């Protein structure tokens, strides 16, 4: 591909990513972007967009040129070329909207752990108009890819057409795929069978793919930690005014972790940034903050519940162990004096 061809492909990717951020699919779940749009009557600055992970290496001129070259039926600049907004109002985000989105979404697994978002976009291209790909990840330090995705299509017909395809593969890997609703039904049925078989119904044994009830918008992720910082230090930094830290997920020596607040984490982040002149430092290292949302937020709460269950079970064991220890000590003290004397010689 020549230089012009590469440039055109790059411009297309830029516009596609921009339109995704403002799309009916993503915008309802992007609290940060919604807040920015609300603050400026529907506009958001390009500088703000350049802080997003997939745009951090991009400059304003590249975005302007991409939109000028490729065009967009969804976005347009203001007169100063420093802001963008949607050319049409977003839909009403209600229960009906969520139900329709679910009907247009499929589950697909069997991808290698090394698969990237660009790889997935290439795979779904030409198989209906895929508007959103959610890579499902493990709750570990690296946020490793689980090998499965939820992919939302523009229409229910596209989603149904995808699952009707026969023997789909990714490279040499055979794929399993179905509608999202069917996936959750199968998981619910499997969980019910396992529950009856094992007579165990605790949260720790519940399949991680089940729907989980949890308070939304309470968790922040931080990345960038200096020295041998401790949880106590980080808690002190993130405690602010009316926003108190409920829990810190972090081990000394790591570079990132999670902060859980007892109320609105997004407002806490805003107050924290304002207090620190938009620069939060942990032992002389600037940390980046973001609100945890979507599947990542659900995974966080699943892991938190599992950890709490383990701590609770460990506590039961420790109390039982201490009780047995006390009983053993009493028995020794109740031994006849002669026997005690013999044992001390």
Average pLDDT, 10 consecutive residues per value, the chain (345 residues): 60 86 82 87 90 80 85 86 87 77 93 92 93 83 85 94 95 94 84 58 44 81 86 90 88 88 91 88 89 88 79 55 44 40 38
Q: Alpha helix (H) ranges present in the chain? A: 3-21, 31-39, 46-49, 60-70, 95-103, 117-124, 156-164, 180-198, 231-238, 265-275, 294-333, 337-344
194 occurs within a structural domain: no
- Same domain for 330 and 207, yes or no, is yes
- Same domain for 164 and 57, yes or no, is no
Supply the CATH number for residue 251's domain.
3.30.70.330
pLDDT of residue 89: 80
pLDDT of residue 72: 82
pLDDT of residue 200: 45
195 occurs within a structural domain: no
- Same domain for 60 and 172, yes or no, is no
- Same domain for 35 and 145, yes or no, is no
CA distance 278 to 167: 51
Based on the structure, what is the number of domains in the chain? 3
Q: Is 107 left (phi over 0), alpha (psi -120 to 50) or beta?
A: beta
pLDDT of residue 345: 34
Which of 153, 183, 213 is the last residue before a domain boundary? 183
pLDDT of residue 141: 66
- Same domain for 173 and 81, yes or no, is no
pLDDT of residue 153: 94
pLDDT of residue 204: 39
CA distance 304 to 204: 10
Secondary structure letter of residue 79 according to DSSP: T
pLDDT of residue 340: 40
Supply the CATH number for residue 26's domain.
1.10.10.10
188 occurs within a structural domain: no
- Same domain for 167 and 210, yes or no, is no
pLDDT of residue 5: 54
- Same domain for 174 and 259, yes or no, is no
- Same domain for 331 and 211, yes or no, is yes
pLDDT of residue 103: 92
Contacts of 199-204 spanning 24+ positions with Cβ under 8 A: 202/309, 203/305, 203/306, 203/309, 204/305, 204/306, 204/309, 204/310
Q: In degrees rounded to 5, what are phi and psi of residue 44?
A: -140, 140
- Same domain for 101 and 71, yes or no, is no
Which of 61, 86, 111 is the last residue before a domain boundary? 86
51 occurs within a structural domain: yes
Residue 67 lies in domain: 3-86
- Same domain for 9 and 33, yes or no, is yes
The DSSP-derived string for 84-126 is: EEESSPPPP-SHHHHHHHHHTEEEEE---TT--HHHHHHHHTT
């Amino acid at each position: 591909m020549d230089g012009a061809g590469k440039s055109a492909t790059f411009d297309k990717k830029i516009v596609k990513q921009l339109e995704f951020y403002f799309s009916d699919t993503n915008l309802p779940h992007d609290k940060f972007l919604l807040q920015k749009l609300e603050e400026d009557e529907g506009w958001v600055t390009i500088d703000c967009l350049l802080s997003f992970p997939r745009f951090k290496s991009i400059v304003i001129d590249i975005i302007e040129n991409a939109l000028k070259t490729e065009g967009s039926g969804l976005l347009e600049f203001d007169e100063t070329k420093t802001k963008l907004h949607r050319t049409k109002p977003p839909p009403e985000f209600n229960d009906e909207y969520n139900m329709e989105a679910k009907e247009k979404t499929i589950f697909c697994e069997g991808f290698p752990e090394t698969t990237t978002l660009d790889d997935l976009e290439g795979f779904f291209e030409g198989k209906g108009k895929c508007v959103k790909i959610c890579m499902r990840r493990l709750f570990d330090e690296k946020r490793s890819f689980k090998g499965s995705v939820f992919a939302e299509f523009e229409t229910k017909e596209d989603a149904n057409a995808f699952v009707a395809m026969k023997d789909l593969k990714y490279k040499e890997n055979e794929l399993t795929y179905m509608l999202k609703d069917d996936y959750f039904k199968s998981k619910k049925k499997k969980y019910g069978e396992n529950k009856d078989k094992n007579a165990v119904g605790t949260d720790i044994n519940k399949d991680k793919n089940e729907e989980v009830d949890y308070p939304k918008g309470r968790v922040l992720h931080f990345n960038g930690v200096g020295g041998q910082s401790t949880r106590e230090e980080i808690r002190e930094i993130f405690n602010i005014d009316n926003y108190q830290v409920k829990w810190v997920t972090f081990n000394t020596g790591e570079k990132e972790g999670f902060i859980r607040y007892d109320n609105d984490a997004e407002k806490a982040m805003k107050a924290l940034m304002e207090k620190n002149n938009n620069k939060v430092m942990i032992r002389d290292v600037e940390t980046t903050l973001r609100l945890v949302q979507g599947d990542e937020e659900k995974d966080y709460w699943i892991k938190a519940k599992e950890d709490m269950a383990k701590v609770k079970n460990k506590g039961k064991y420790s109390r039982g162990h201490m009780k047995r220890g006390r009983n053993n000590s009493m028995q020794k003290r109740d031994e006849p004096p002669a026997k005690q004397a013999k044992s001390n010689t």
